Structure 1
Amino acid sequence: MFCAMLLAVTPILASPVLAGAIQQISAHDGAVIVQFDGVVDKADVFALAGPDRIALDISGATAGRSVALGGAVQNIRQAQFSADTARIVLDLAEPAIVTGGAFSADGKSLRLSLRPAAPKEFSGTVARGKTQIIPPMLFRAEPPKRRYEVTAAIRSNVGTGLPTISGPSDESLPLVVIDAGHGGHDPGAISPHGGQQEKDVTLAIAKSVRDEMLKSGRVRVALTRDTDKFIVLQDRYQLARKLNADLFISIHADSAENPEANGGTVYTLSEVASDREAQRLAARENKANIINGVNLGGADANVSSILIDLTQRETMNVSADFAKLLLREAMPNMRIRGNSHRFASFIVLKAPDTPSVLFETGYLSNAEDVSFLSSREGQRKVARTLANAIQVHFARRIASR
């Protein structure tokens, strides 16, 4: 009833420019295929009872008209659920459940697999709520064209020269290590709105964060890099460990194929990613260690796996608490994405004894985000967000002792 009422309302608000309009929806032979004229942000799929229906909320899409029916689907309805979300409702001739779903490689079509189900099984699907499906994120910087020689010098920053610690000389004060993502031959994302490179944006933000935190005189700060150089992923968190850091923050500014995707996201460690986007993003970032087919990373086998597990569980809990605090402090200063605390197996988060977060500050593929992150004022706002969160974090840690 509620869904039907929503679909009966014709939107009167002007919609923003979205990435993809629905071109056709077809249902036949146990499958539903939705085609778009461009990429969309994501799809949330869920079941509704009384009558039995399957609904799709497509973020970053506008509703269309073309429909072809068949199989378990007896009717298809669609409308603009909100300014940036199209809703599709599949009226079922008999109970059926979605057994799988994926976007095509170009992100311009979504295929759902359906099969008939007993009423009890369908009711269980209704109770489970929404399943999120994310299209491939294909917009990335091209890999370096030239060949890079792999030498021991790339890892020398850990063994011989540790980063400079800025701030008071009192070693009892907490130490925060800020990691500017990418660097050197690895540019990270490249913006289509001016060509800004992620490695430059993250370094500017990291320096701004350092300067902002030093104003208080209550923390010490070190940067994994303060110039345009490449650092192996494991070395980034190993630098923090060698400095006995109390907190490690890796700064990034990613991109998405959907230019409407925007806002910050905070990631903490999990061996199982919280959604497919996080899983893909972690897998892609972790590949930055591989140059010309040579894996520069190495696993540390000197520590007992049991001790690592026990220590890392506590570290992950502290990291998650800081992530929540960071998002709270970010709200007044910058745009934050929905579902903004996510979990992924980023290599840079895997220090077993150093609380760590990866802060995706925004999307260089979004015109407003790249303008914000490239500006001095935007970088200062990000810096204030982090500095405030860090101050509260350590105040809480001291109070709980």
Structure 2
Amino acid sequence: MAFRWTRAPFARQGRRVFALFALIAGWCTSVPAWAETAIRSIAVQDGRIVIRFDGRIAAATGEVLERSRQIAVDIADAAPGARVAAGGPIRGVRQIRSGTGTRLLFDLAAPAVIGDGGFDADGRGLTLSLEPASAARFAAAGLAGPLSFMAFDFGDWTAKPRYKVSIPVPPPARAALPKVRGDDSRPLVVIDAGHGGVDPGAINPTTGLREKDVTLRIARAIRDDLLATGRVRVALTRDDDRYLVLRERYGIARRLKANLFISIHCDSVGSEEASGASVYTLSEVASDKEAARLATRENKADVISGVNLGDAGADVSSILIDLTQRETMNSSASFARLLGREAKPLIPTKPVFHRMASLMVLKAPDMPSILFETGYISNPGDAAFLDSREGRERIAESVTKAVEVHFARQLASR
């Protein structure tokens, strides 16, 4: 039997087939447009790049491109947007589709670097602070590699851990200050072993290895290595299995008038695949509330390096704290880059070593502070390395080398 098609049915069926093929092609070749988060606007305001999105973004990276005198910002799973307002240190902005994300290229009117940055609490805004830079600093920033910015509040997006720990949090106590070892004329480094006491931290789901035990052993190894140089004094926030709340940790260092604060941790995720060390410094974007809290305290004496703010108004106090915290964050970032340089030949590190986040333990306004994630306790290889004598010695060596260069540079700049 021969089939005969009339013109109308053929047109209708043709349109249906075409639509079906178009839909299948869309599924196979790209993420549907309705599923993407788009860049809503890009603006340069008071030396800051402010990027807004119409949905939540999990992470982004930023780096200096020295040869082309640009700053590149890569945003995963985001589509280019239309609204761009350049100005100040930025001559122009280009948006380039890159895989499933977007690369933003900022043409610089003069050499500048990313001083700090971070996401808003809802993950819909990313703010990067730009700082004018000399040719030498601009070149060094280009060699340092990308910075990573994490939203951290991923809600249901994150993998669920295999274990769950629920503990009562005891009230903070103003405990006696720990013992300081070393020559009194030397700068003081305070090492903070993360977690402790009723808080075990991350736990390896296979071996039961606890983060609080690993961090204490690493902190002691770093202390011993630093003291052996004779160039610094050292104190530990805890030298046993005790619990300290976050503010108490950096509070101890501030009461001791420390010159550098290093908090030791081990990372953990639901997957065993993630590995490598990384370092975090404070993001200015999320530090405003903490600065405001400090400025409105009843007793504001000696909040910043001996400067009495007791007679200053709230606005003046906030400005003074903000200026000091900016300088402190720059010093923290500088030490983080040094640690990355010294750590990479000695221990496994993540491709993007230096990251920024609003972490409570880093919020001392007048003391350079870093959080050193020495590896993933959830990864079998990392866990074995972190809990080995060789691993602790390599970590301690990398920290010691970075500390020596850090204070040598400070001494040379006086």
Q: Aligning the two structures, in what range does the TM-score lie when normalised by the shorter sequence? A: 0.5 to 0.7
Query: Which residue number corresponds to residue 126 of structure 1?
Result: 97
Q: Which has the larger radius of gyration?
A: 2
Question: Are 1:259 and 2:277 matched, yes or no?
Answer: no
Deviations 1:258-313 (A, max 9, x none): 2110001100001447xxxxx9xxxxxx9xxxxxxxxxxx8672252111101000
Q: Which runs of 5+ in 1 are unaligned?
A: 1-67, 78-88, 104-111, 274-278, 280-285, 287-297
Asked whether the equivalents of residues 276 and 350 of structure 2 are also in contact (C-alpha less than 8 Å), the reply is yes
Q: Helix, strand or coil: the match of 1:369?
A: helix
Deviations 1:95-143 (A, max 9, x none): 996435789xxxxxxxx7989x89x9xx835284189997515327523
Deviations 1:221-257 (A, max 9, x none): 0000000000111111111111111000000002011
Distance 1:311 1:101, change over 3 A: closer
Distance 1:234 1:70, change over 3 A: farther
Runs of 4+ deviating beyond 4 Å: 68-71, 94-98, 100-103, 112-115, 130-135
Asked whether the equivalents of residues 272 and 343 of structure 1 are also in contact (C-alpha less than 8 Å), the reply is no
Give the distance between the partners of 1:140 and 1:245, measured in 2 at CA.
38
Partner of residue 220 from structure 2, selected from 202, 207, 213: 207
Counterparts of residues 1-40 of structure 1 (less than 5 Å): none
Counterparts of residues 1-400 of structure 1 (less than 5 Å): 71=23, 74-75=25-26, 89-90=29-30, 98-99=37-38, 100=55, 124=95, 126=97, 128-129=102-103, 135-139=157-161, 142-144=164-166, 147=168, 150-151=170-171, 154-157=172-175, 161-168=176-183, 171-272=184-285, 301=297, 302=300, 303=303, 304-400=317-413
Q: TM-score, normalised by structure 2?
A: 0.60
Give the distance between the partners of 1:91 and 1:245, measured in 2 at CA.
50
Q: Helix, strand or coil: the match of 2:264?
A: strand
Asked whether the equivalents of residues 188 and 254 of structure 1 are also in contact (C-alpha less than 8 Å), the reply is no
Letter in 1 for 2:404: Q
Asked whether the equivalents of residues 269 and 349 of structure 1 are also in contact (C-alpha less than 8 Å), the reply is yes
Asked whether the equivalents of residues 96 and 114 of structure 1 are also in contact (C-alpha less than 8 Å), the reply is no
Distance 1:69 1:259, change over 3 A: farther
Give the distance between the partners of 2:322 and 2:160, measured in 1 at CA.
34
- The sequence identity of aligned pairs, in percent, is 49
Asked whether the equivalents of residues 144 and 185 of structure 1 are also in contact (C-alpha less than 8 Å), the reply is no
Distance 1:181 1:383, change over 3 A: same
Give the distance between the partners of 1:209 and 1:202, measured in 2 at CA.
10
Letter in 2 for 1:126: R
Distance 1:259 1:272, change over 3 A: farther
Asked whether the equivalents of residues 182 and 232 of structure 2 are also in contact (C-alpha less than 8 Å), the reply is yes
Give the distance between the partners of 1:113 and 1:325, measured in 2 at CA.
32
Asked whether the equivalents of residues 140 and 255 of structure 1 are also in contact (C-alpha less than 8 Å), the reply is no
Give the distance between the partners of 1:91 and 1:370, measured in 2 at CA.
37
Q: Helix, strand or coil: the match of 2:30?
A: strand
Q: TM-score, normalised by structure 1?
A: 0.62
Distance 1:69 1:384, change over 3 A: farther
> How many residues get paired?
280
RMSD, matched Cα? 3.6
Q: Helix, strand or coil: the match of 1:225?
A: coil
How far the C-alpha of 1:193 sits from its partner, in A, is 3.2
Query: Which residue number corresponds to residue 291 of structure 1?
Result: none
Q: Helix, strand or coil: the match of 1:126?
A: strand
Q: Which runs of 5+ in 2 are unaligned?
A: 1-19, 39-54, 59-76, 85-93, 105-148, 304-316
